[in-house]
Structure 1
């Protein structure tokens, strides 16, 4: 992981800890190219967490937005999820 990415995650963890009492609900938002395998990879990352997942395809159909509303135990667990799905080619985390 490069220095910029590391700094981003450190800052995100601080902000999450300042804004929340854990466990807390968190809304993950991603945009991925509309390919079944990529969408399934993101969805499966949240399989056993009781997440509410909403997917919407863009008007042109090239991209799909994925919203994941889920109870998370800590800021660290949120960052681990972002890192886990960051391996999906073309994913954008919002």
Structure 2
């Protein structure tokens, strides 16, 4: 597993000191480590409610994304794994940026 998958991009683009630099660096690392097109795995943690899930699902509308869910032991949170065939690093970053707009979602 490539080390870039451990980058915490929570609160990007609204958080962080310079999200533009973060995404540029992330894109360079993706292009150095991966060959596209490829299946890419996104992981998110969100409060367990239908609205948050619906918002994430809308981000991936019109794609062939596959979703897997796991509730936390307390039942307050759900982790979502999204598998999607992406054409390039720009597409990977596009979906991260779209999910980052959803309040309360943690991206891993």
Structure-1-length-normalised TM-score: 0.90
Q: Select the structure that is richer in helix.
A: 1
Question: 1:63 aligned to 2:77?
Answer: yes
How far off is 1:88 after superposition?
1.1
Q: Aligned Cα RMSD in Å?
A: 1.4
Partner of 1:16: 30
Could you list the runs of 5+ residues in structure 2 that have no partner in the other structure?
1-12
Partner of 1:90: 104
What is the total number of aligned residue pairs between the two structures?
94
How far off is 1:89 after superposition?
1.0
Residue 92 of structure 2, aligned match among 72, 78, 82:
78
Between the aligned partners of 1:70 and 1:46, the Cα distance in structure 2 is: 9
Structure-2-length-normalised TM-score: 0.80
Between the aligned partners of 1:69 and 1:30, the Cα distance in structure 2 is: 12
Between the aligned partners of 1:6 and 1:63, the Cα distance in structure 2 is: 29
How far off is 1:35 after superposition?
1.4
List structure 1 segments (4+ residues) > 3 angstroms apart after TM superposition: none
